[in-house]
Amino acid sequence: MSFQAAIFDLDGVVTRTASVHAAAWKELFDEFLERRAGGGAFEPFDERADYRAYVDGKPRIEGVRSFLRARSIALPEPEVQSLAARKDAFFERRLHERGVETFASTVSLVEALRARGVRTGLVTSSRHGGEILELAGLARLFDARLDGNDQQALGARGKPHPDMFLKCAEALGAAPGQAIVFEDAVSGVQAAARGGFGLVVGIDRGGNARALEHAGAHAVVADLAELDVARLEKLWRERRNAREAPRRPGA
């Protein structure tokens, strides 16, 4: 294989838990905004637009801060921390009510890569990453996995900083330039691009392709069913050739 490792985001890439997160964020912020409006009109949290713009892929506390900034709301830090804790409780309740669904196409690709000797890793900002993988029965598919608990223990910065992807590549024994990252969040694509990964694949789960490309994705697909190992090899070679091509005179 031309590349040594493949690193996957969790929510929206491996598991269908992004919708569970979005619903938990909506429950949290709609309750908060309604209370703040004192019974008057308020603009509710949009599970698609607000989720993708302000909280998708980010550590929970940063998601709270990002959305509050967007609404020009300033709160004392203890209240921000309280909102983050409530979101976690809402998510965990929904997770155990609904269970964990996976993207079969992603699981198939992970298995195909492992069969070819590619080391696989998983990175998520969620503190429930390990729990979700166990519930889904997928823990065996990843040689290294880092979640929000590891991020705190390592003192690593969250997405869009590349710290967690870099730590995962290190755990897999691969240089960033020899690894592929699969992400559906703009902040995650930005992190992988900033980390210098050899190939960054964006997954557009709903009209987000242009934003993913702008963030640094080298290729964007609607689902990983569009890719197999041979296609990834081709994308990898094309990306490598583009990096190695001599600059034109005057460029």
Contact 217, 9 (CB under 8 A): no
Instruction: Report domain extents, the chain.
Output: 5-16+101-244, 18-98
pLDDT tier at 245, thresholds 50, 70, 90: confident
**Percent of the residues in the chain that have a pLDDT greater than 70, as a whole number:** 98
Of 243 and 167, more confident: 167
- Give the pLDDT score at 247: 57
- Give the pLDDT score at 246: 60
For the whole model, what pTM was predicted?
Answer: 0.83
pLDDT tier at 189, thresholds 50, 70, 90: very high
Hey, what are 193's tokens?
């691009």
Nearest to residue 90, comparing CAs of 4, 177, 31? Answer: 31
Hey, what are 148's tokens?
């929000």
- Give the pLDDT score at 249: 56
Give per-residue pLDDT as tens, 108-137: 999 999 999 999 999 998 888 998 999 899
Give per-residue pLDDT as tens, 90-112: 999 998 888 899 999 999 999 99
- Give the pLDDT score at 161: 96
DSSP state of 102: B
pLDDT of 251 higher than 80: no
Contact 148, 126 (CB under 8 A): yes
- Give the pLDDT score at 250: 55
SS3 42: coil
* Class (C level, CATH) for 18-98: mainly alpha
* Class (C level, CATH) for 5-16+101-244: alpha beta
Question: Token match 């997405």: residue?
Answer: 159
Whether a cis peptide bond, with omega within 30° of 0, leads into 162 is no
Distance CA 174, CA 166 (A): 9
β-strands 144-146, 179-183 pairing:
unpaired
pLDDT tier at 169, thresholds 50, 70, 90: very high
| Over residues 173-198, mean pLDDT | 97
- Give the pLDDT score at 63: 95
Of 164 and 240, more confident: 164
pLDDT of 248 higher than 70: no
| Over residues 4-21, mean pLDDT | 93
DSSP characters over 112-132 = HHHHTT-EEEEE-S-TTHHHH
What positions carry a catalytic annotation? 9, 11
